Amino acid sequence: MNTIIKLLFIGLFAIPICSFGQTNSQDLAKINTEGFQNSQVMSLIADLSDVYAPRLTGTDQYLAAAEWVKQTMNSWGMDEAYFENYCDDCMGWEVKSFNVEMVAPAYMKIQAYPYAWTESSNGVQEGELVWIEPSPDLDHVKNKWTGKLKGKTVLIGSAPDQNMLFDALSTRLTEEAIAEAERSIHPAPDNPLGPSAGNVDLIEDLEIIFEQFMQKDDAFFAFLKAEGALAIFGTTPLFPGIVHPSGTYNFRESDEKPIPYFAISPENFGKLSRLTKREKTPKIKFHLDSELYLKPENNVNVLAEITGSDPKLKDEVVMIGAHFDSWHPASGATDNGAGSAVMMEAMRIIKASGLKPKRTIRMALWGGEEQGYVGSLAYAENHFGKVKETARKKEVEKISAYLNMDNGAGQMRGIYLQGNEAVKPVFEEMLAPYEHLDVNHLTIQNTNMTDHDVFDYYNIPGFQIIQDRLNYMTVTHHTNLDALEYVPERDMMINATVIAALVYQIAEREGMMPRKD
C-alpha cells in the first residue's frame, strides 16, 4: 500500500462514524475548543460564591448578583439581557450579627446559624433551656408546657443518632445504579439515582408540600411566641458538625415570623439534650441582629438571549435554566451557583464560538425556587397561561425544550426524560459525540422538586440533568458548608460544554423537540 493510500485510509477511520443530525461536526468542534480550552466557568462560580453571595430570595444581595449577571451577559454580546419581576410580597431578610453560647453548667460555644425570616432578639438574651421532644399532637404539647416557657430557650426535635462516619461523604453514581435507571420502563419507580421520582401534580402536590412540610410548624412557633419563649434551637443529623438552617418558609409579607430560631450542629444538640435529660439545666446566652424588609424590585428572574438567525425559526425558543437564589448560611456554590454558572458559560461558549443558531436560545436564572418555584411559576403564568386553567397562550407552542441543572456541582451523567419516550433517540444522537465523557445515559424516569417541573406541567419538553452526587446531600445542600471548595473544575467544564452542545443542536434541528402528547 503506497503512502498516500495509507494516509487516506488512516484519515477515514480517524473521523467518528456518527451522525450529528442538522449540526455540522465543525460546530461541535468550536464548542469543544471554547468550552475546554478557554473556559471561564470557574471564574463565574468564584464570583457568584465569593463576591455575590448569599443570594437569599428578596434580598439586596440577590439583586446585586442579578445585576452582575445582566452586565456580564451584555459584555459577552448577548442580543438581550433583562429582568422580569416575579413577586410583590417576597421579603428580604439579612443577618447583621449573631452569637450563641452555653454559659452553664460549663461554657460551650454553640455551632449555630439562624433560620431565615426569623425575628431579631432585641439585644443579648439569657435563659434556661428546656427540651420539647416531637409530638404529632400540638394540644398535647400545649397541655404539658403552657405557662412554663416564659424566658426559656427551647430545644425542639429528636436527638440525632451517633454517626461513626463509616460511609463515604462524597460519592459518584455507580455503573450499577445508572444501568438500573436506564432499564426503567416506567417514569415513577423507586429511583436508584437519588432525587425523588414520581408523578407529581405541580400545583396540588406543591400546596400539600407547603402545608405538611414547609409550614407544618407554624402553629407550634405561634404557641412558643405567645408563651414568651426567647428562642428555638433545632438540628438536622448531618455529621460532622454541619449546620443546616433549612426549614423556615415565612417569606411572604403577611406570614407570621417566628421568634429567633437557630439551627445548631448535631453534636451540640446531642450534648444539650443529654444535659437536659440529666436535669443539669443548660443556660443559654445569645443574640440575633437581623433585618426584614420588603423591596419588590429585588425579586427578579434574570434572562438573556441569543436571537435565532433563521427568519422562519427565530420565534421558536430553546430554553436553559437554573435557580439563582440560595440559602443564606454560606455562599450557595453548589446550590445553585454551580447550575447558574454552567448556564451562563454555555451561553458564552455559543456566542464566543461565533455560531449563529437557527432558533433563539434563552437562558433563565430563576428566583424563589427554594420557596416553591416562585420565579419560574410567575414566568410561566405570564408567558404560558394561568395554572389550574385550560387556556394557554401561543408562546407555549414556541418553546422547543427546557434544560435545567439543579443537583449540585457533580458531573453530568445524562438526562431524566420525564416520561417522554419520543425524545430518547434524539438525545441519543446528540450525546453520541460525548460518549467518551460518560454523559450520555438516559432514563425514562421523572425527577422532581426543581424548576423543570413547571415546564413539564405545561407539556413543554422539560428535563433535569442527571449528575454525580458528590457531597451534595451529605455536606453542602442548604448548609454552612455550601462553598466553592466543593465545586470540581473538570465537572463544571464538562457540564457547561455539553449543555452548550445540546442546546445548540436542539436549536439547529429541522423540527421542534417532540412532546409527550
Concatenated DSSP letters of 324-363: ----SSS--IIIIIHHHHHHHHHHHHHHHTT---SSEEEE
Total count of residues recorded for the chain: 517
Could you tell me the end-to-end alpha-carbon distance of the chain, in angstroms, rounded to an integer?
56
DSSP state of 118: P
In this prediction, residue 226 carries a pLDDT of 97
14 pLDDT more than 50: no
**Of the candidate ranges 185-189, 354-358, 433-437, 474-478, the one whose mean pLDDT is the lowest:** 185-189
User: Based on the number of CB atoms within 10 Å of its own CB, is 116 exposed (0-12), middle (13-18) or buried (19 or more)?
Assistant: buried
- Taking only Cα atoms into account, the Rg of the chain, rounded to an integer number of angstroms, comes to 25
- Is 386 in the same domain as 445? yes
pLDDT digits (tens, 9 = 90+) for 355-402: 999 999 999 999 999 999 999 999 999 999 999 899 999 999 999 999
Distance CA 91, CA 298 (A): 9
Across 473-484, b (16+ Cβ under 10 Å) vs e yields bbbbbbbbbbbb
Considering the domain boundaries, does residue 184 fall inside one? no
- 22 confidence band (pLDDT: 50, 70, 90): low
Pair (109, 251) in one structural domain: yes
User: What is d(CA 348, CA 361) in angstroms, rounded to the nearest whole number?
Assistant: 12
Q: In this structure, are strands 112-114 and 108-109 parallel, antiparallel, or unpaired?
A: unpaired
Whether the per-residue pLDDT at 74 is higher than 60: the answer is yes
Together in a domain, 97 and 86: no
Q: What is the pLDDT of residue 189?
A: 67
Domain containing residue 136: 92-160+203-293
Residues 410 and 480 in one domain: yes
Alpha helices in 242-383 (DSSP H): 266-277, 338-352, 374-383
Percent of the chain scoring above 90 in pLDDT: 85
Between these two residues, 236 and 448, which has the higher pLDDT value? 236
The reply to whether 360 and 344 lie within a common domain is: yes
Q: Looking at the domain assignment, is residue 165 inside a domain?
A: no
Domain containing residue 364: CATH number: 3.40.630.10
With a cut of 90, say whether residue 353 has pLDDT above it: yes
Assess whether the previous peptide bond of 258 is cis (omega < 30° from 0).
no
What's the rounded Cα separation, in Å, for the pair 403 and 500?
Answer: 11
- Unique residue bearing C-alpha cell 434544560: 403
- 516: exposed, middle or buried (C-beta count within 10 Å: 0-12, 13-18, 19+)? middle
Residue 110, domain member (yes or no): yes
Give pLDDT tens digits for 31-58: 999 999 999 999 999 999 999 999 999 9
Residue type, 223: F
Q: Are residues 289 and 303 in the same domain?
A: no
Domain-embedded: residue 2: no
Mention every residue, 6+ apart, whose C-beta is less than 8 A from residue 328.
54, 56, 93, 94, 95, 113, 116, 245
What is the pLDDT, as a whole number, of residue 195? 62
**Are residues 39 and 122 part of one domain?**
no
Interior angle at CA 382, CA 379 and CA 383, nearest 5: 85
Residues 122 and 78 both lie in one domain: no
Distances (CA, A) of 64 to 59, 68, 87, 333, 398: 9, 6, 17, 16, 32
Q: What residues contact 302, with CB distance under 8 A and at least 6 apart?
A: 66, 69, 70, 81, 83, 324, 364, 365
> So what's the pLDDT on residue 5?
38
Domain of residue 113, CATH code = 3.50.30.30
- Could you tell me if 334 and 229 lie in one domain? no
Considering the entire predicted model, what is its pTM?
0.94
Residue 437 resides in a domain: yes
Contact 94, 59 (CB under 8 A): yes
Last residue of a domain, one of 264, 293, 322: 293
Q: What are phi and psi of 101, to 5 degrees?
A: -140, 150
**Could you tell me if 147 and 81 lie in one domain?**
no
| pLDDT at 4 exceeding the cut of 90 | no
Question: How far, in Å, CA of 130 to CA of 151, rounded?
Answer: 10
Q: How far apart are CA 260 and CA 287, in angstroms?
A: 9
Question: Mind spelling out the 3-state secondary structure of 136-190?
Answer: CCHHHHHHHHCCCCCCCEEEECCCCCCCCCCCCCCECCCHHHHHHHHCCCCCCCC
Establish if 400 belongs to a structural domain. Answer: yes
Q: Which three cell numbers stand for residue 12?
A: 477515514
**How many folded domains does the chain comprise?**
2
Q: Is the pLDDT of residue 13 over 60?
A: no
Q: What is the DSSP letter of 106?
A: S
Asked if residue 95 lies in contact with residue 261, where contact means CB atoms within 8 angstroms, the answer is no
Position 179 in a domain: no
The pLDDT, as a whole number, for residue 400 is 98
* Residue 166 belongs to some domain of the structure: no
Average pLDDT for 424-430: 98
Whether 142 and 286 map to the same domain: the answer is yes
Residues 398 and 438 in one domain: yes
Domain boundary among 271, 293, 315: 293
Q: How far apart are CA 160 and CA 272, in angstroms?
A: 12
User: Residue 197: its pLDDT value, please?
Assistant: 63
Which of residues 250, 269, 293 is at a domain's end? 293
Contact 333, 486 (CB under 8 A): yes
